[in-house]
Amino acid sequence: MLSAAYELPIERPDCKRLETRTNMFVMANLSFGGRSSRVKVRNMSSGGALIDGPVLPTAGTPCRLFREDVSIEADVVWATAGRIGVKFRNRARVDAWLPAGRRTQTDVDQSVVTAKAEHANAPHSHTIRPLAPTLLTNIDINSTADALAALAAELADDPAVVTRYMTKLQTLDVSVQMLRRLAELMQSIDRS
C-alpha cells in the first residue's frame, strides 16, 4: 500500500526529467511573489523537485525553496491543483534536503518491510468494529483528510519525529492521498 505514496510521473512535454529523483517526505517553505507557503517536497533531483501544498504559485513563477539552513532558487515549470514541478536555477545537493540522519528512500523502504513483517507477526488482541451504518459524504472524507494532513504537517515540523517515524508519516500522507482520491471519485459518481 505504501507504494501509492509515489505516483508514477505524469508525462509532461514541458518537464523532461534528466535525472533520477529521490523520494522524500520533507516539510519546507516556498516563497514566491512576496508570499511564503508551507509545502511538502515529494521528490527531488539535483535539477528539480515535485512539491505539494495548499497555496502554490502558477507555472512560470520564480520562487525560492528553503528548509532549515538550505535554500535554492527555482522556476515553476508546471502546476496542477495542489502540486507543482520546479526546475532549480543551480544544482541542488539532494542529501542536504533529507531529514536529520539523511535517510535515503532505500532506508525508508527497508524500514517499511521490517515494520510490515513485525506487524504481521504481532498478536492482535483488539477486534475491529464496523463503521456506523451512515453514509459518508465528500465533506466527511475531505474533513478527515484535512485533519490527517494537519497532523502530518505538525509532526513533520519536528526533525526528531521525522527521523524516527518517517515511514509512519508517509503512511499518514498516503492515507490523505487515498481519502482525497476517494472524495473525488464519489464526487464524479454524484455528478453522473
Write the CA distances from 87 to 18, 61, 90, 102, 173, integer angstroms: 11, 11, 9, 23, 24
Residue 100 binned pLDDT confidence (cut-offs 50, 70, 90): low
Q: How far apart are the first and last CA of the chain?
A: 29
Query: Residues 104-162: pLDDT tens digits?
Result: 555 555 655 666 666 566 555 555 555 555 666 777 787 777 778 778 777 877 777 77
| Cell numbers representing residue 50 in the block | 515535485
**CB 43: neighbour CB atoms within 10 A?**
21
Residue 28 binned pLDDT confidence (cut-offs 50, 70, 90): very high
pLDDT for res 83: 95
Higher pLDDT, 104 or 29: 29
In three-state secondary structure terms, 76 is: strand
Residue 23 binned pLDDT confidence (cut-offs 50, 70, 90): confident
Residue 49 binned pLDDT confidence (cut-offs 50, 70, 90): very high
Task: Tell me which H or E stretch contains 50.
Answer: strand 48-52
What average pLDDT score do residues 40-49 get? 93
pLDDT for res 9: 45
Query: Residues 8-18: pLDDT tens digits?
Result: 445 455 555 56
Class of domain 2-97: mainly beta
- For the whole model, what pTM was predicted? 0.53
pLDDT at position 27 over 80: yes
| Contact status, residue 3 vs residue 167, Cβ threshold 8 Å | no
Higher pLDDT, 20 or 13: 20
| Cell numbers representing residue 122 in the block | 504481532
89-117 per-residue burial string, b: 16 or more CB within 10 A, e: under 16: eeebebeebbbeeebebeebeebbeeeee
- What torsion, rounded to 10 degrees, do the Cα atoms 83, 22, 157, 55 define? -10
